[in-house]
Amino acid sequence: MGVDLLPIRRIRNVETLVADITTDQCRALIRRTLNTVRADVVLCDGAPNVGASYDKDSYEQNEIVLLALKCATEHLKRGGTFVSKVYRSADYNSLLWVLKQLFKRVEAVKPASSRSQSAEIFLVCLDYVEPTKIDPKLLDPKFVFEQISATDDPNASR
């Protein structure tokens, strides 16, 4: 199954959806399409429209990662793999901590095709533990990145 904002070129034996992974409607559509099938791998190569500022772009990228991870926790089978593009930024360690709660092994990979000066890397998360219950705060960007956004806001109370 493939999900993207734009139509995906036809791939034999692959169901594709045109949807926004950050929405509840998309997650419901995925649930209906997969039915009871569990995924071996969830790959997130999503990215925000970049250009505002690096801090804003990296926050939005890592927010997309958490939303894709939330979807993965609903559909990934025990022992499965989650791979996502991330930007190394102030919230990188918080994101890494979350991933390590759900996977036995998390590895950072910088593909040769990625520019050396780019902050973009891929996190390969192996051996999903499939917990019976996940605290919703673990997948909530406002909670996970709370310290980052509070310190970035000059009006935040200290």
Catalytic residues: 85
Are 57 and 51 in contact by the 8 Å Cβ rule? The answer is yes
Q: What is the 3-state secondary structure (H, E, C) of 43-66?
A: EECCCCCCCCCHHHHHHHHHHHHH
Joined together, the tokens standing for residue 8 give: 């995906």
For the chain, the straight-line distance linking the first and the last C-alpha, in angstroms and rounded, comes to: 45
